[in-house]
């Protein structure tokens, strides 16, 4: 083995031990950690994460990375190449980020999470405002420290943050994509709202127990081929997936006694994330924990949640599961009514509960606010008012409190730039869905008793190289085309035109 690669591997192995410990503590923090203990635990997580960062900043390690980058040739395997490219690019981006500043940043994010949790429970943005202001200040500082990175060539601070989540994506790209979405979705939403088609949804609020929802969750995870010997399911305020280690990918959900679909679709969504991590090649974990972008990841979770999960075939499968574990919910309800209810279009306040159609507007709203904060200096104190204004403008609804408004998501506790990944995921997965249809009888596969055949196609075409390629390279290899919103918009238009008989 190349001496530089050997030195790099030794350092990464040690760094991963710190990161592994931090991930376990983070999982605990977001699930069962007592509220009053969150701040202290967050500080410990920040410490362990920073110890891993220090190893990356060691001059000897950086020299090994640079030397390896210069020596790469065709004889190297693709995992070594991807690892070295990732590390070298990270060194460029973080060349001015010191361990001291990194620790300050991590502590600010952990404090923000603890304050957010308390603020959300109290539905009071003022309890979170100071922490979020500090996150915004530090995000601006991070972008200024990266201003000399030649590879990015970003003119706007927000572009630097976007690159953290989706390599190569720019504000210009998103303005174009979201502009296309608004151009086609706004008039279509008006047509749907004017449609005489009435969809029955009364049965969706029938009371169910936590035990019934949990039983349904495990049935769905088994159907999706989620390996519970390598995974776990529990509850949290905000559902998430934690890829703790190679054979340890955990997901969470929440249970509402009058809204079983909330749990069902958070389980399907998070299981999509989990399947992605559980099915990457073993060599991936040997080289880096994960190198996927959030757009790639959200494409998979939202593929299972929506394109598969809200299809008529999947609705029929889930109907039978519901009839088994909570029969009163579908008593007197036909399979067609059940399918239509899963796809009703109703402008609403909560992103994670939003229907497939209006979901994009929730992302656009957050994107526009994030841009204003980083590029134009919007004061964080103005967020609640701007949030209300945009929800009224795009969806015709207004939050009655901060909990169902700007406090509903946790992602801003970690900084800005994540939210566009959700919409980009929709664009990616609509493109590879069209590619999949050329090779797989998708309806037959869904009705087969498990998603094994669909997972196998995803493994070969979507999951296998996600850690090795940039998003643009990845989607080009899968589909032979550059990223476009057209496939997603065509899919949405065709599906909802049929459902609402437009």
- What are the distances in angstroms from CA 365 to CA 123, 192, 211, 399? 20, 21, 36, 14
- For residue 147, report the phi and psi dihedrals to the nearest 5 degrees: -65, -20
Q: Which residues does the chain have with pLDDT short of 50?
A: none
**Cα–Cα distance, 46 to 104 (Å, whole number):** 9
Domain boundaries, the chain: 3-122, 172-499
pLDDT at 283: 84
Q: Output phi, psi for 231, to 5 deg.
A: -145, 180
Q: What is the predicted pLDDT for the residue at 282? A: 83
| Dihedral sign, Cα of residue 422, residue 139, residue 47, residue 122 | negative
Q: Find out whether 240 and 264 touch, Cβ atoms under 8 Å.
A: no
* Other residues' Cβ atoms within 10 Å of the Cβ of residue 228: 10
264 vs 375: CA distance, rounded Å: 38
Q: What whole-number distance in Å separates Cα of residue 372 and Cα of residue 355?
A: 26
Report d(CA 343, CA 357) in Å as an integer: 8
The pLDDT of residue 290 is 65
Buried b (16+ CB within 10 A) or exposed e, 246-266: eebbbbbbbbeeebbbbbbbb
Nearest to 275 by CA among 105, 41, 455, 103: 455
pLDDT for position 281: 86
b/e map 373-384, b = 16+ CB within 10 Å: bbbeebebeebb
pLDDT at 152: 66
Question: What is the token pair recorded at 119?
Answer: 């603020």
Q: CA nearest 289: which of 245, 251, 250, 248?
A: 245
pLDDT score recorded for residue 218: 98
8 Å CB contact between 71 and 63: no
- Dihedral through CA 140, CA 142, CA 148, CA 149, nearest 10? -120
- Residue pair 391/364 in contact (Cβ under 8 Å)? The answer is no
Regarding beta strands 241-245 and 231-235, do their DSSP bridges make them parallel or antiparallel, or are they unpaired? Answer: unpaired
Question: What is the pTM for the complete model shown?
Answer: 0.93
Burial class, 142, CB count within 10 angstroms (exposed 0-12 / middle 13-18 / buried 19+): buried
DSSP conformation letters of 380-410: GGGHHHHHHHHHHHHHS---SSSTTTTTS-S
CATH 3.30.1300.30 describes domain 172-499: no
Angle between helices 157-165 and 171-194 (to 10 degrees): 80
- pLDDT for 168: 86
Cβ-contact 297, 168 below 8 angstroms: no
Residue with tokens 């599906």: 495
3-state secondary structure of 29: helix
Lookup: tokens for 209 = 């127990």
In the numeric block, the tokens 């989990």 are attached to 274
DSSP per-residue letters across 326-356: SGGGSTT--HHHHHHHHT-----S-GGG--T
| Token pair for 92 | 């460029």
Exposed e or buried b per residue across 37-59, where buried means at least 16 C-beta atoms within 10 angstroms of its C-beta: ebeebbeebbbbbbbbbbbbbee
pLDDT in tens, 423-463: 999 999 999 999 999 999 999 999 999 999 999 999 999 99
* pLDDT for res 146: 82
Alpha carbons 470 and 447: distance in angstroms, whole number = 34
């Amino acid at each position: 083995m190349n001496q530089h690669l050997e030195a790099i591997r030794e350092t990464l192995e040690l760094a991963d031990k710190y990161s592994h410990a931090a991930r376990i503590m983070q999982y605990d923090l977001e699930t069962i950690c007592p509220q009053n203990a969150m701040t202290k635990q967050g500080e410990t997580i920040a410490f362990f994460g920073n110890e891993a960062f220090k190893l990356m900043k060691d001059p000897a390690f950086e020299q090994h990375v640079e030397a390896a980058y210069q020596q790469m040739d065709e004889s190297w395997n693709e995992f070594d190449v991807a690892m070295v490219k990732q590390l070298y690019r990270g060194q460029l981006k973080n060349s001015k980020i010191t361990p001291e500043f990194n620790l300050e940043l991590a502590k600010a994010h952990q404090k923000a999470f603890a304050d957010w949790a308390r603020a959300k429970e109290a539905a009071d943005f003022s309890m979170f405002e100071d922490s979020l202001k500090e996150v915004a200040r530090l995000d601006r500082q991070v972008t200024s420290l990266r201003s000399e990175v030649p590879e990015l060539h970003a003119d706007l601070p927000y572009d630097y943050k976007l690159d953290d989540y989706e390599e190569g994506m720019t504000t210009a790209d998103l303005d174009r994509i979201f502009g296309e979405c608004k151009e086609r979705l706004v008039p279509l939403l008006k047509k749907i709202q004017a449609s005489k088609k009435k969809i029955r949804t009364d049965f969706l609020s029938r009371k169910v127990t936590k035990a019934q929802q949990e039983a349904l969750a495990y049935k769905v995870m088994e159907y999706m081929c989620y390996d519970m010997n390598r995974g776990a399911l529990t509850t949290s305020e905000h559902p998430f997936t934690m890829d703790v280690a190679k054979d340890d990918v955990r997901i969470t959900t929440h249970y509402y006694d009058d809204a079983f679909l909330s749990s069902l679709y958070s389980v399907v969504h998070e299981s999509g994330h989990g399947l992605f991590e559980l099915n990457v090649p073993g060599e991936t974990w040997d080289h880096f924990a994960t190198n996927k972008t959030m757009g790639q990841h959200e494409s998979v979770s939202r593929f299972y949640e929506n394109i598969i999960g809200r299809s008529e075939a999947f609705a029929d499968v889930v109907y039978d599961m519901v009839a088994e574990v909570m029969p009163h919910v579908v008593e007197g309800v036909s399979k067609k009514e059940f399918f239509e209810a899963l796809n009703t279009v109703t402008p609403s306040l909560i992103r994670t509960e939003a229907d497939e159609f209006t979901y994009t507007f929730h992302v656009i709203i957050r994107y526009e606010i994030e841009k204003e904060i980083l590029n134009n200096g919007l004061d964080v104190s103005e967020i609640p008012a701007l949030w209300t204004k945009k929800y009224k403008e795009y969806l015709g609804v207004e939050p009655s409190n901060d909990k169902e408004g700007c406090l509903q998501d946790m992602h801003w506790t970690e900084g800005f730039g994540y939210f566009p990944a959700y919409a980009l995921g929709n664009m990616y997965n609509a493109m590879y869905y069209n590619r999949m249809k050329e090779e797989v009888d998708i309806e037959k596969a869904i009705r087969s008793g498990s998603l094994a055949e669909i997972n196998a196609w995803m493994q070969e075409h979507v999951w296998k190289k996600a850690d090795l390629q940039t998003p643009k390279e990845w989607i080009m290899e899968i589909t032979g085309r550059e990223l476009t919103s057209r496939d997603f918009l065509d899919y949405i238009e065709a599906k909802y035109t049929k459902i609402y008989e437009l």
